[in-house]
Each structure stands twice: as C-alpha cells, then as structure tokens.
Amino acid sequence: GLYNVYNALATAAAAVALGLPDAAIEAALTGTDAAFGRQEAFAIDDRRVELFLGKNPAGLNQVLSTLLLDPARRVALIALNDGIADGRDISWVWDADFEVAAGRFEHVVVSGTRAEEMALRLKYAEWDESPLAVEPDLPRALDQAIAATPAGETLTVIPTYTAMLTLRDLLARRAGKAPFWQEPARATA
C-alpha cells in the first residue's frame, strides 16, 4: 500500500542523511519482507490469501484504500475481535471509512467475537447485505471464505490483532509455514 511506500521513503531518507552507502540502502529495501499478518500472503488450495491487519481507523482506512487499487479482489473475510490486545471498545470501527468499499466485494464473510457488530457497521456503510455471511467462529469463517474464493484468485483477510493471530496460525499450518514465533533456520558458516 501507499503507506508502506511512505515508510520505505522515510527509511531511505534517514539512511541517506546518516551517510549510509546507496548499495546498503538498496539491499535493505529489496530484502525486506512483510511482518507477520501485515500484507503477508499464503498459498492455500490454489488460492492466494492475503492478511491486512486493521487495528485502528487510520490503518484500516489505508488498508481499504490499498484494496481499492486492485479490482480483481472479489472475496473478503473481515474479523473483529474485542480481546484485551484489540481494545474492548470497538466503537472505533465507526470511524473507519468502510463506505469507500461499498459494493466492492462479491462475497464477504464477517467473523470474530464481534462479528454481528461488524456486519451492522457494514450495513450502515451501505454494503449490500446479500453477499454478507456472518460466522463468528474464525476457523469456520476462514473455510467459508476460502471456499467462496475461486481457484487462482485472492482472498482478502482483514482482521483485528487477536483475530489476525488466530487466522495467521491457521493459514500458516495450512500453507506449511512456520508459526510467527518460530525463528527460521539460519545458515552456519
């Protein structure tokens, strides 16, 4: 997304200001991967599944803006939890601009401990109710969303923090990736 371009430019500008060599700056920028759950992608059942963490209105607005750049995205899973790490007060979802994505997706699964409230927020944002499925159970919601995504296409997953941890773990297991807390093996000299 554009916000990651801003982050990369700020990092490069700071590196230039510190006098670091251009080759080192280029190597650092090209060698950077997405952090777990933040625009991370998984290959599941001939589909690409992408996680876009949405934990506050500003970040969620950036995610929605990024998603609007790709008209091929047709299926989404949006998961809203109210765990301690998410914040018990979910009223912040009313400050996110879901209206910009009304009519954008052909199928949407809404999940999490506050799935019904998320569905209500989307209704008020004038999202069509017919493609909305409410499934509070995250594993079942993920299965539904993957099944609704045609082979060869991308499923967009927008979870809050604790929902992302659960979904990321489910996706990592299905894709054969390591859990986020497990360090990759390092080569020895």
40 and 49 in contact (C-beta within 8 Å)? no
Our CA angle for 110, 120, 75, nearest 5°, is 30
Q: Is 22 part of the annotated catalytic residue set?
A: no
Q: Which is catalytic among the residues 86, 89, 137, 143?
A: 89
Cα dihedral 172/174/47/113 (nearest 10): -70
Distance CA 158, CA 52 (A): 5
Q: Map tokens 């949405």 to a residue.
A: 54
Catalytic positions, written as ranges = 89
